[in-house]
Chain A
């Protein structure tokens, strides 16, 4: 394989070589060039609101401990004992000032500092003077409006710079709440037997909406006799550093703030009130955008923030070319009243998540792609050309510019590394 991407703007054709979904060497290269170098979502700050709160997280193949240390800092500790390596914290979540490795009973403060070990007289006095016996923390951890990211590359650009103009879209999501967003409990930990990049594509793919999710739209039409035609209309936009977004109108309800017939009639007035408040804060135009427009955002490589019938964030990692582990979050305004919260969750679960009426069909589509990549040797290329004829600045939400942008970034990182290696040979 010479190229992994064929980007032919004259012919309006964009192709991705299918080996990127099935090749183990490509996965090793992704680990080195992408997961070891890009900003990766670890969690939302509200998951660990109190001092001592912690949660175990798998990020970029590492076992991390996402912890609100006693000094008020949020840290990501590598969950491994500096002594012999055992996983120090075995509970999935909780609150503790101290973590103790059960193997030889070394104890650590919740900022990672070693504070106790049996048989201290067997070690020199300056044993931990350089801090090498503390639990190690990920050096780079940064926060953008509650979304927390880590980077395993100490020399990486700042998160702020990395997100670039994607921040505008994250702002539109967060600004729906006056008090910020919070993560609900019950993060959905599931999997797909497919390559991880297929979910990055799928999460910002509106073209598949009608054919793949017909049963969902059938249900929406049955609930709402006025819904004669399902309209999914808007723009596809390429953002900095491989990020992308689609912004569009859709017939489902939005908890902030577009009423839908499965909700109480009384919510109509509440939603009008929400819109007035948004307009007071941001003006009519931005308020309309926040309340009535949907946004599916992909932050390269593997964070999706979808502000649709509810707000979900999902992140996903490969364990092999054909298998990914997904973590799905629900985010909602802090302090949202209970009736609205239930209505929101009701809307979420109708479409989203492993038990929803749509996500399992996405999962199936991805798995069928993966299964059929057994034919890669003879059928080599995926097509991602939709909308190129319109020009990348004029893309519709049902076009594919946001995916091409992902793939161009991917290509830069992977192809450069392939070429460097070839030059050395």
Chain B
């Protein structure tokens, strides 16, 4: 795959693949999708472009932190996700821009259902990605998860990777 041959469908397939490996709890594989300078963020509700020095994010991971996040969740002592919850991620309304430039930008809506102990929590929102080509494939340079919720009630936590 080169810059000139990348199609929208390639990007869509990549997003589906990410959703699938997260649903399968292949979290090291998920972390491997990111570039060395990548970020993974969940901004405060209702303020997707918040200044991180003035407002508290829910998640503001650099590459090292997102690796730690993935590895932690695979441990038995990550109690909140042990036994692992069952998740179903749907990705839709995908808008791909700048296909022919170095950084492809993607916006999509998502719905992630989590079930554990017979309780289903549903996270809804919009993802913004910056994707680059690396080693003949895609790599995520940034992923911002904008939750379209009024509060984290009744979810209570973002223990999953969204």
Q: Which of B62-119 contact A (CB under 8 A)?
A: 65, 68-69, 72, 75, 77-80, 117, 119
Residues of B near A353 (CB, < 8 A) are 56, 58
Q: Is the CB of A186 within 8 A of B154?
A: no
Give the complex CA separation of A350 and B67 in angstroms: 12
Whether A185 sits at the interface, judged by CB under 8 Å, is yes
The reply to whether A360 and B153 form a contact with Cβ atoms under 8 Å apart is no
CB neighbours (8 Å) of B44 from chain A are 185-186, 188
Contact B57 A325 (CB under 8 A): no
CA distance A338 to B53 in the complex (A): 6
Q: How far is the CA of A212 from the CA of B65 in the complex (A)?
A: 20
Q: Which of A348, A350, A359 contacts B157 (CB 8 A)?
A: A359
Quote the shortest CB–CB distance from B72 to chain A (angstroms): 5
Instruction: Name the B residues within 8 Å of A192 (CB-CB).
Output: 156
Q: Is A214 an interface residue (CB 8 A)?
A: yes
Q: Would A360 and B80 count as touching, CB distance under 8 A?
A: yes
- Is there an interface contact between A188 and B152, defined as CB atoms closer than 8 Å? yes
Residue of A nearest to B73 (CB): A215
Complex Cα distance A354/B158, Å?
5
A16-54: which have CB < 8 Å to B?
Answer: none
Query: Provided the pairs A185-B47, A189-B45, A191-B152 are in contact, do residues A360 and B55 lie with their beta carbons within 8 angstroms?
Result: no
Q: Do the beta carbons of B53 and A190 come within 8 Å of each other?
A: no
Q: Bound complex: CA of A364 vs CA of B160, how far in Å?
A: 13
Q: Are B60 and A345 in contact (CB under 8 A)?
A: yes
Report the number of A-B residue pairs with Cβ-Cβ less than 8 Å.
113
Min CB gap A409→B, angstroms: 27
Closest Cβ–Cβ distance, residue B68 to chain A (whole Å):
5
CA distance A72 to B153 in the complex (A): 34
The tally of residues in B whose CB lies under 8 Å from a CB in A reads 37
Report if A189-B151 is in contact (Cβ < 8 Å); known contacts: A349-B59, A354-B156, A355-B59: yes
On chain A, the residues within 8 Å of B78 by CB distance are: 215, 361
Are B58 and A354 touching (Cβ within 8 A)? yes
| Cβ 8 A contact of B56, one of A348, A350, A367 | A348
CB distance from B85 to the nearest CB of A (A): 11
Contacts of A350 in B (CB 8 A): 65
A192 to B78, CA, bound (A): 17
Contact in complex: B47, A186 (CB < 8 Å): yes
Contact indicator A193/B154 (Cβ below 8 Å): yes
Measured between beta carbons, the chain A residues less than 8 angstroms from B42 are 355
Interface residues of A in 196-254 (CB under 8 A from B): 212, 214-215, 218-219, 222
- Picked from B46, B55, B58, B153, the residue with its CB within 8 Å of the CB of A325 is B153
Is A6 an interface residue, CB under 8 A from the partner? no
Q: 1/0 per position for A249-287, CB-CB distance to B under 8 A?
A: 000000000000000000000000000000000000000
Enumerate chain A residues within 8 angstroms of B151, measured Cβ to Cβ.
189-191
Asked if A365 is at the interface (CB within 8 A of a chain B CB), the reply is yes
- Please, which residues of chain B bring their CB within 8 A of the CB of A355? 42, 57-59, 157-158
Question: A188 to B56, Cβ gap below 8 A?
Answer: yes
B60 & A190 in contact (Cβ 8 Å cutoff): no
Does B50 count as interface, using CB distance less than 8 angstroms?
yes
User: CB of B155 within 8 A of chain A?
Assistant: yes
Given contacts A185-B56, A345-B57, A353-B58, contact A190 B80 (CB under 8 A): no
Please, how many angstroms separate the alpha-carbon atoms of A338 and B51 in the complex?
10
The answer to whether B152 touches A354 (Cβ under 8 A) is yes
Asked whether A357 is an interface residue with its Cβ less than 8 Å from the other chain, the reply is yes
Give, as a whole number of angstroms, the nearest-CB distance from A388 to chain B.
28
Contact with A along B122-162 (1 / 0, CB 8 A): 00000000000000000000000000001111111111000
Which one of A189, A214, A338 lies within 8 Å of B152 (CB-CB)? A189
* Contact A342 to B53, CB < 8 A, known contacts A363-B156, A371-B117: yes
Please, how many angstroms separate the alpha-carbon atoms of A342 and B75 in the complex? 28
Additional 5 contacts, C-beta under 8 A, given A186-B44, A189-B153, A364-B80: A186-B56, A191-B153, A193-B119, A325-B153, A345-B57
B residues touching A (Cβ–Cβ < 8 Å)? 42-47, 50, 52-60, 65, 68-69, 72, 75, 77-80, 117, 119, 150-159
Ordered by A's residue number, 18 sampled pairs between the chains whose C-beta atoms are within 8 Å are: A185-B50, A187-B56, A188-B44, A188-B56, A190-B155, A191-B152, A191-B154, A193-B119, A215-B72, A330-B56, A345-B56, A349-B60, A350-B65, A353-B58, A354-B58, A357-B68, A360-B80, A360-B159
Closest 10 CB pairs of A and B: A186-B44, A185-B55, A189-B151, A186-B55, A355-B58, A190-B152, A364-B80, A191-B153, A360-B157, A360-B159
